[in-house]
Amino acid sequence: MTPIQVAQLAVAFACWVMTAIKIAHLVRRPRNRPLAFMCLTQTAITLALTVQPIAPRLDLALGVLGLSRALGNCLTLVAVAAGHALIILLTAQDEPALRQVRRDLTLAAASVAAIAAVFPLAPAPYDLADDYVRSIAYYTATPTPSEAPHTVLYLICLGWWVVQLAIAAIRYARIVSRPLLAVGTRLIAVGVLVGLGYIAAKLAAMIAASVGASTVLLDQVVLLLYVVAILAVLVGGTVPAWGPRVGLDRLLDSLLARRDCRRLRPLWQIMYDAVPQIALCPRPVEPRLRRIRLTVEILDGYVLLSPWMSARTEQRVRRHPSGQLDPEADVAAQMLALAISLRRAGRPPVDDPAAIRSFVDPAPAHDQANAAAQVQWLARIARAMRRHPITTETLPDPTYR
């Protein structure tokens, strides 16, 4: 075997280990639909990766040159379609979602059937005993469109599926907040985007081969992109399972806590300058405890400033929002800035206090705990506060009460 084939087998072995982890979880939870589609995705893509290094022996055993290539293509399509169905089920499992999953499976079956129908129409122009085939050069070179029309069909189908999967993965990554699951989803999205690069490189190699140009460099790029895309998807799909065992969850939570502290600090400073009694001592050093302390003290500041938040002012602010990107956070920021300005100006508390719950108690996002949602919400307010400087020059008329 060539060094490239050995490397491919090593990667395939690692992929089988990660796939086995998910299958073991499915055995314990057989009714978990998303987990079942995750196992289908990983098994299909791992099989596709395994087929490549053993393609010469597989073709020889089956007696059909190029059959292993077509098989690998079909397995890749199944994996991408199952991955798209997986993300749909992670988002919702109602009847519309199940209907879309059934549509995905039908389209995947149709794509595989089309490749199976086209494959016999253009047999490989070489014999299994040909020196070009036996030297493995046939398997490392990209065929021309006329030599392998089923590959062209495969790339078209794969391109459509990859675009659908990329859109779904990026959307899902935006609403997931559990650290390891968020990292895994983003890795899947990265793998899918690398898959788009693989398709572009494969098409370029086929065009180059059709005009007689050398495709050696492009062939290496195609193989590299294919392996990187598969590894990114498999690692992203399994990291929530094995990550906690190696301490990735604690490391990631600590890093995210440091980031959250940096995002919350400006809002805390505004609160502290207005109501310094919110500060508790001693200050915690550990990032996760510091994040909790900042959150609690900011919420305490809202409570202390709530007597200067008018319900009528809130209605006026909501009727004329100034923040188009995040209007809810912008309303909360405006109300806070105005309350601080009123307090500093020595104005008495309002006679129609607003309900501050809408400013401090957001609805949790999908798959997001209340504490995480709280931190994200306060970070949004901190960002909106940049647009609302605290000043006493634009206070409402004293009759605002």
Checking if the pLDDT of 364 tops 60, the result is no
- CA angle, residues 244, 250, 251, in degrees to nearest 5: 110
Pick the range with the lowest mean pLDDT from 105-109, 234-238, 305-309, 361-365.
Answer: 361-365
CA R_g for the chain: 29
In angstroms, the CA 323 to CA 297 distance is 25
Checking if the pLDDT of 358 tops 50, the result is yes
Pick the range with the lowest mean pLDDT from 105-114, 192-201, 204-213, 279-288.
Answer: 279-288
pLDDT at 399 (0 to 100) = 42
Mean pLDDT over 224-228 rounds to 86
pLDDT at 238 (0 to 100) = 79
pLDDT at 49 (0 to 100) = 84
Instruction: Count the Cβ atoms, other than its own, within 10 Å of residue 27.
Output: 9
Highest mean pLDDT (candidates 120-124, 232-236, 265-269, 324-328): 265-269
- Work out the pLDDT band at 363, boundaries 50, 70, 90: low
pLDDT at 401 (0 to 100) = 43
- Quick one: fold of 3-245? Rhopdopsin 7-helix transmembrane proteins (1.20.1070)
Instruction: Count the Cβ atoms, other than its own, within 10 Å of residue 383.
Output: 18
Mean pLDDT over 245-273 rounds to 90
What proportion of the chain, given as a percentage, has pLDDT over 70?
Answer: 92
Give the pLDDT confidence of 368-381 residue by residue, as tens digits. 557 778 888 899 88
pLDDT at 2 (0 to 100) = 65
DSSP character at residue 53: T
In angstroms, the CA 146 to CA 122 distance is 8
- Work out the pLDDT band at 393, boundaries 50, 70, 90: very low
Highest mean pLDDT (candidates 2-11, 234-243, 353-362, 383-392): 234-243
Checking if the pLDDT of 320 tops 80, the result is no
DSSP character at residue 122: S
Mean pLDDT over 9-18 rounds to 80
Helix (H, G, I), strand (E, B) or coil at 367: coil
Helix (H, G, I), strand (E, B) or coil at 386: coil
pLDDT at 136 (0 to 100) = 77
Q: Which residue has the tokens 């085939």?
A: 133
Return all residues near 207 (Cβ < 8 A) that are at least 6 apart: none
In angstroms, the CA 105 to CA 114 distance is 14
Checking if the pLDDT of 305 tops 60, the result is yes
More confident residue, 274 or 3: 274
pLDDT at 142 (0 to 100) = 83
- Work out the pLDDT band at 261, boundaries 50, 70, 90: very high
Two structure tokens written together for 32: 């978990």
Q: Which residue has the tokens 């791992």?
A: 46
pLDDT at 267 (0 to 100) = 92
Give the pLDDT confidence of 21-49 residue by residue, as tens digits. 888 888 998 889 988 998 998 899 889 88
pLDDT at 322 (0 to 100) = 67
pLDDT at 398 (0 to 100) = 45
pLDDT at 173 (0 to 100) = 77
Checking if the pLDDT of 365 tops 70, the result is no
Two structure tokens written together for 261: 């502290």
Mean pLDDT of the chain: 84
pLDDT at 321 (0 to 100) = 66
Q: What is the DSSP string of 216-255?
A: HHHHHHHHHHHHHHHHHHHHHHHHHHHTGGGTHHHHHHHH
- How do the domains of the chain map onto residue ranges? 3-245, 249-400
In angstroms, the CA 173 to CA 58 distance is 38
Given a contact cutoff of 8 angstroms between Cβ atoms, the answer to whether 223 and 250 are in contact is no
Give the pLDDT confidence of 100-126 residue by residue, as tens digits. 999 999 999 999 999 999 999 888 878
Pick the range with the lowest mean pLDDT from 104-108, 173-177, 276-280, 325-329.
Answer: 173-177
Checking if the pLDDT of 195 tops 70, the result is yes
